[in-house]
Chains A and B, each alone.
Chain A
């Protein structure tokens, strides 16, 4: 065999080199492109990848629950529960008749309605039902129908139905508290949502290996324990429901307060509503806690506060008597009593309250001014109303809304200011809510300390820390302790006299102290003046043993009763409440 010649070998080598060069060029192109993509455009592609893979989630915080007292226990009043929205994907439902029948069988409702919804065209999402419970959800999922699905959402649940509904309020679909405690303490109850930023897989599951993961845990809302006594609350609501019918009222509100702390033991209105079904309420006024939002002219119950102010200033004594002319002319108008009781004659402080003499209250106001209604008298009463009884501002109770009391300043406004103040002394021309009245009366009955009314007993934070909401004494010299002690028997006298006057339901056991005052208030007309035949009935009273243990205020709006609204509309409600407290051993008898 002939050996390859030198030229052939060189040609081979040359061809090999050409191939190597070509290969090198191709590899170089790849390398350069890789360098371009992985180094020069690193940030661009990294950001593109992250924007697709990095998901941001908000981790919702759990809303705090609301609890209240039941005897010595604390029981839940408002809870959270996951309920489900049932939806259908119409194109994926193979057998509409079968699916709709199965759904109706599980959750109730009309199968034909469900069938119509399932036949909806041009959509892949149709809601069949909201708020189905977990058991129903499990049964729906067990059907394994590709065209049916459920989505869980946290809802607020009120297991006791309408109990304390207007005090509690409700949480709307957006998770915001409306009215009541839910609104007032929305921030504390909501907590703070957490955040999760993580690179996820195709199913959205966070990948633990990613160094870009950021997780901030949610801070759950605080639980709130209310001062309410639930059995007292339940029985109060039952009393209001019954008396609303029997007095043919247009609205009934009542507050039971502990005068020695400002804690609200029970507060209710009728009519009311069920917060589990707030969406079906047509009248938004039902959402309001009228005991806190409805400021009305209280009528003669105001005489308690006028008497206390006069006693505290020393311008009268409990046994002071005076000549009552049965009418006063103030700013050209006659001040008379609602019923001419014996005409002009000697009266005393006890009869002013018992007979509810407007002329008597006006006389007390005159004493504050040295014998007549003047700037001194007006200033004195205004001072007591605003700085002692705190009626110049809302109480700040933990409710979504509170009406501002209206108290006319004492300066002469050229519009019959003396007449205005004369009216104020017996509870007209001044507006306050049942709660504001309860707080003021508590202060004059407990020895002179004004406690800020409150509904919250304690907060329990998500970390378990308990924060007790201690009573706040906003003023300690509302009236002197001596005045408190003088006022109680005057109010007890009123109850005893009314018992003797023919109201046997005011017969209370001898080892309890029960005092009170009726109020029949005219209702102002729009544009001025008062209606001739429309009245609100009010009552302020206390029940106790050695000292007043509960202050009770009743507001009965336009009761249709055969007599004075206060006597026939307010007094029986107070009596029912007082008997309820005594019979259920809520009151400690005299020692």
Chain B
């Protein structure tokens, strides 16, 4: 008796009576070459998809960085504009011609008492 026939015999015990069993499969079900190939191709595609998702995620950070840089540039520009406005408001010409300055007494020669 071979090993496979003994396996067959064991299986035969589980067969109900009067089922007219002709033979018992001794081999396990396996994938054929075409199925194997297709399965491998599908797995490879899945790996590729996985890679793409990771790369896309990284590139998405690139867009975020770009947006943040643009925001930063806009804020720097706004800061510069405010600095210019502030400098103009404080410029000597502006101050000199302001209503407050015009109301002041002009400078005259200084005389200092000495002993």
List residues of A whose CB falls within 8 A of some B CB: 75-76, 79-82, 133-134, 152, 157, 159-161, 163, 201, 205-209, 230-231, 234, 509-511, 579, 582-584, 589
A-B contact pairs, 9 of them (CB 8 A): A75-B90, A76-B87, A133-B81, A159-B87, A159-B91, A160-B87, A160-B91, A205-B66, A206-B65
| CB-CB under 8 A for A209 and B58, given A163-B91, A163-B93, A583-B107 | yes
In the complex, besides A81-B81, A234-B96, 11 extra interface pairs with C-beta distance below 8 angstroms are: A76-B83, A79-B84, A81-B84, A157-B84, A160-B87, A163-B92, A163-B93, A209-B55, A209-B59, A509-B112, A511-B114
A318 to chain B, nearest CB (A): 26
Q: Cβ of A161 and Cβ of B63 under 8 Å apart?
A: no
State which of A76, A133, A208 has its C-beta within 8 Å of the C-beta of B58. A208
- A-B pairs, top 5 by smallest CB distance, nearest first, are A208-B62, A159-B87, A209-B58, A159-B88, A160-B91
Tell yes or no: B105 within 8 A of A by CB.
Answer: no
B66-115: which residues lie under 8 A (CB-CB) from chain A? 66, 77-78, 80-81, 83-84, 87-88, 90-93, 96, 107-112, 114
Query: In the complex, A234→B101 CA distance in Å?
Result: 15
| CB-CB under 8 A for A584 and B107, given A76-B83, A79-B83, A230-B92 | yes
Complex contacts, B96 vs chain A, CB 8 Å = 234
Query: In the complex, A133→B78 CA distance in Å?
Result: 11
How many B residues have CB within 8 A of the partner chain?
28
Complex contacts, B81 vs chain A, CB 8 Å = 81-82, 133-134
Query: In the complex, A248→B80 CA distance in Å?
Result: 42
Q: Cβ of A75 and Cβ of B87 under 8 Å apart?
A: yes
State which of B59, B87, B107 has its C-beta within 8 Å of the C-beta of A79. B87
State which of B65, B93, B109, B112 has its C-beta within 8 Å of the C-beta of A208. B65
A290 to chain B, nearest CB (A): 22
Complex contacts, B91 vs chain A, CB 8 Å = 159-161, 163
Complex contacts, A133 vs chain B, CB 8 Å = 81
B113 to chain A, nearest CB (A): 10
Q: Which residue of B lies closest to A205 (CB)?
A: B66
B96 to chain A, nearest CB (A): 8
Complex contacts, A207 vs chain B, CB 8 Å = 59, 62
Tell yes or no: B61 within 8 A of A by CB.
Answer: yes
B11 to chain A, nearest CB (A): 31
A228 to chain B, nearest CB (A): 12
Q: Which residue of B lies closest to A77 (CB)?
A: B87
Q: Cβ of A205 and Cβ of B92 under 8 Å apart?
A: no
Q: Cβ of B110 and Cβ of A583 under 8 Å apart?
A: yes
